[in-house]
Structures are given as structure tokens and as C-alpha cells.
Amino acid sequence: MFGTIDSLSGGELTILGKKIHELQTDEDLSQLRLEKIGFVFQTFNLLATMTAYENVELPMSLLGRLSTK
């Protein structure tokens, strides 16, 4: 549930002060995952043309937060 991929069937989920049911669009939820949660999937969601390290770097690069450090 914390990953916001599945929908709640009851109750309430709040992440960093935001009620998840109020983030109504997939775009809002995608942005939350990109900026605040982060995922590293195994096998089926990795980009095959990239190394595991590059797959982990990708979200930071998209946010402009990737440095040489």
C-alpha cells in the first residue's frame, strides 16, 4: 500500500502529510513515487539495456539530483 500501486479497500493512508486518496491522478502518484518513495524492481521492470546501477540512478537523473558523488 505504501508504494501507492495498489488501491485501498478501506481505511486511510497518509504519506508525508498527504492523504493518498486525495492524490487522484496517476501522474500525482507517479510524482510522489519518483520524489519521495523510490522503487527498485527485480527483473521484469528493469531496463534491459542498462546495468542495475544505472537502473537505480535513473530516477535521480530524472529529478536532476544525480551528481558524480
C-alpha torsion angle, residues 25, 11, 14, 21 (rounded to 10): 10
Predicted pLDDT of residue 31: 84
Q: Is-contact 55 47, C-beta < 8 A?
A: yes
Residue 40 in this model has a pLDDT that exceeds 70: no
What global pTM score does this model have?
0.59
Answer with the residue of higher pLDDT: 49 or 35: 49
**Residue that is written with C-alpha cell 544525480 in the block:** 66
Q: Is-contact 62 41, C-beta < 8 A?
A: no
